């Protein structure tokens, strides 16, 4: 078995590798069929050198249990013909797509204030940047966050702010809430998480009254 060989292990196989110099037999103990996203797990690999030559080799092991992204590890079997050796490989699978490393937090406007006209809504994501394949969606509504009157504002974006003309978006004055969702990018992307909602009061701009004709003394 030479240095750049790649071995795919799916269940509990026994693999034998042969060349002019030596045979290596590899057996893997039982491992979990599925692994919780972000957790680690162990596989015990028993490597037997069947000879005739002594081997000191290195291979890359790709462990692919069902439903888990393929992690990688390195196995370095050494030994003498006829001697059994064991090695434990600790594998950290790729984080599941719906288990994002960060979250979204609302920045401005602050809660419990009165808003009118054009308002810039801003938020931050962290730690780190928003991973590829995800976008933000601004939502404004009345009542509870699950109220059907809640509606999205604009299209999904990877920007962290959006200016909104409340006079165009809201039909009447009153109490509203706003939040930002993280969704899977693309048309109809499903919600992954959301920020804690903030409440504000919408008040339409004052409408100027009719102009008063100037009066003249004695007129």
Question: Which stretches of the chain drop beneath a pLDDT of 50?
Answer: 1-11, 13, 15-18, 58-78, 80-81, 83-95, 97, 219
Asked if residue 219 belongs to a domain, the reply is no
Asked if 79 and 112 sit in the same domain, the reply is no
What's the token pair of residue 143? 């009542």
Asked if 61 and 134 sit in the same domain, the reply is no
pLDDT at 34: 63
Beta carbons of 14 and 29 less than 8 angstroms apart:
no
Pick from 115, 130, 124, 147: nearest CA to 184: 130
Beta carbons of 123 and 109 less than 8 angstroms apart:
no
pLDDT at 115: 96
pLDDT at 50: 74
Asked if 125 and 158 sit in the same domain, the reply is yes
Asked if 85 and 107 sit in the same domain, the reply is no
pLDDT at 43: 58
Q: Which residue in this structure is represented by tokens 């702010």?
A: 161
What's the token pair of residue 182? 């993280």
pLDDT at 129: 94
Pick from 135, 138, 197: nearest CA to 163: 138
Task: Give Dmax over CA atoms of the chain in angstroms.
Answer: 126
Asked if 78 and 115 sit in the same domain, the reply is no
Distance CA 67, CA 49 (A): 32
Asked if residue 213 belongs to a domain, the reply is no
Distance CA 17, CA 45 (A): 14
User: What is the pairing mode between strands 113-115 and 198-202?
Assistant: parallel
Owning domain of residue 28: 6-91
Q: Within 13 Å of residue 139, how many CA atoms lie on the same side as its CB?
A: 25
């Amino acid at each position: 078995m030479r240095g750049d060989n790649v071995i795919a292990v799916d269940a509990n196989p026994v693999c034998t590798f042969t060349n002019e110099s030596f045979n290596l037999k590899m057996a893997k103990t039982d491992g979990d069929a599925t692994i919780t996203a972000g957790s680690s797990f162990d596989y015990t690999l028993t490597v037997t050198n069947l000879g005739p030559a002594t081997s000191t080799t290195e291979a890359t092991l790709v462990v692919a249990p069902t439903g888990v992204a393929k992690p990688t590890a390195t196995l370095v079997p050494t030994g003498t013909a006829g001697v059994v050796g064991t090695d434990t490989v600790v594998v950290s699978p790729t984080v599941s797509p719906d288990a994002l490393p960060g979250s979204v937090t609302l920045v401005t406007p602050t809660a419990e204030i009165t808003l009118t006209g054009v308002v810039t809504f801003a938020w931050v994501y962290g730690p780190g940047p928003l991973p590829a394949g995800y976008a933000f969606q601004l939502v404004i509504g009345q009542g509870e966050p699950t109220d059907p009157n809640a509606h999205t504002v604009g299209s999904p974006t990877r920007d962290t702010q959006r200016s909104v003309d409340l006079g165009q978006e809201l039909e009447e004055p009153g109490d509203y809430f706003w939040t930002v969702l993280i969704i899977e990018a693309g048309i109809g992307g499903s919600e992954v998480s959301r920020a804690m909602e903030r409440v504000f009061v919408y008040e339409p701009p004052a409408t100027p009254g009719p102009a008063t004709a100037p009066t003249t003394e004695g007129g």
